[in-house]
Amino acid sequence: MSAREALFEHTGRDDIILPFQIDPYGLRGRLIRLGPVVDRILGRHDYPEPVAAMLAETMALAACLAGALKYEGIFTLQTKGDGPISTLMADITSAGEMRAYARYDADRLAAADATAIAERSVPRLLGGGYIAFTVDQGANTDRYQGIVQLEGHTLSECTHSYFRNSEQLEAGVKLAAGRVATADGPAWRAGALMIQRLPYQRDLPGRPSEDEYDETWRTAVTLMSSATAAELLAEELSPDQLLLRLFHSEGVRAYPPQPVADSCRCSNVRVERVLRALSAEELADLRQDEDVVVVCEFCKREWRYDDAALDALRADDEPPGF
């Protein structure tokens, strides 16, 4: 088995976060390939094509940004806007478990022009609003959140704005999502490519000059930008082959990939905790065919409670002697 084959032996070539480095300049990057994960998540929802495509890009972007962080917990990427697509949300745990959902106005989306839909225009489809990046590492830690306005024509451009304005870091991001032909019929795929420029360190031995570092960064951004959507989504083009195709002249080194899995964190315990806290009026809004019905927005799993089950559940929460 070659070193290249061994790199993907346990994770496969799809549904991965693949870290890499461009030597000797210390530029870091991540390549994201989402196949069955994004197809299964989108398959649970009857989203219109433009909503599904932008949510697929959101999932790839969330995996890309999460791969740049050291954390134990949950990384969440969420957009909120006043356009036809009001919410895009994807989160991924430090173990690689991902889930996602979208909210949209069907009538307003149907009225959007074809160019805005084809270009996945943020101003026309998401409207004015913000994009938020959150890291939650548990109850005993401070939650980090970065929020910036939705500034840019695409999600990639909005992310560039975040790095410039909030992190003072230089980074380039390329996103792609779409349906591709497979042996079992059309399937959703998504991909992302990101490179990040680290601060120049003058005192490291063998470090090129700052001018050379600047030139290498510009070259790397150009090479990254040359990656096509077809290349990012192609199942037959392995991740390491794509990196070599783009950066072979600069020297690129890939590290072991992290798998990404389709996994929701909803549970009976969480649902019942919410039902105990709701008022009678709020419970009435959840009634369907005389039962209270709760549906997870992420995975579409359904919980149904008749009056007897609901009374027993809420009675359990009453203090002794109530």
> What's the confidence (pLDDT) of residue 194?
94
Q: Quick one: fold of 7-262?
A: Hsp33 domain (3.55.30)
Nearest-angstrom CA–CA distance, 27 and 217? 8
pLDDT confidence bin for 176, thresholds 50/70/90: very high
Nearest-angstrom CA–CA distance, 94 and 63? 10
Q: Tell which residue, 194, 183, 118, has the closest CA to residue 156.
A: 194
pLDDT for 44-68, tens place per residue?
Answer: 999 999 999 999 999 999 999 998 8
| Three-class secondary structure of residue 128 per DSSP | coil
> What's the confidence (pLDDT) of residue 320?
43
pLDDT above 50 (res 295): yes
Q: How many CA atoms does the CB half-sphere of 126 hold within 13 Å?
A: 29
Nearest-angstrom CA–CA distance, 246 and 250? 9
Could you give the percent of the chain with pLDDT greater than 70?
A: 89
Is the omega angle on the peptide bond into residue 24 within 30 degrees of 0, that is, cis? Answer: yes
**Mean model confidence pLDDT for the chain:** 87
| pTM for this prediction | 0.88
pLDDT above 50 (res 43): yes
pLDDT confidence bin for 27, thresholds 50/70/90: confident
Cβ atoms < 10 Å from Cβ of 192 = 28
**268-315 and 7-262 share a CATH fold:** no
Least confident of 56-70, 83-97, 205-219: 205-219
Could you give the percent of the chain with pLDDT greater than 90?
A: 55
Domain layout of the chain by residue ranges:
7-262, 268-315
Q: What is the mean pLDDT of residues 168-189?
A: 88
Nearest-angstrom CA–CA distance, 89 and 102? 6
pLDDT confidence bin for 162, thresholds 50/70/90: confident
> What's the confidence (pLDDT) of residue 72?
85
> What's the confidence (pLDDT) of residue 293?
92
Least confident of 85-89, 120-124, 162-166, 242-246: 162-166
pLDDT confidence bin for 2, thresholds 50/70/90: very low
CATH code for residues 268-315: 3.90.1280.10
Q: Tell which residue, 189, 196, 151, 149, has the closest CA to residue 172.
A: 196
Highest mean pLDDT among 19-23, 64-68, 301-305, 311-315: 301-305
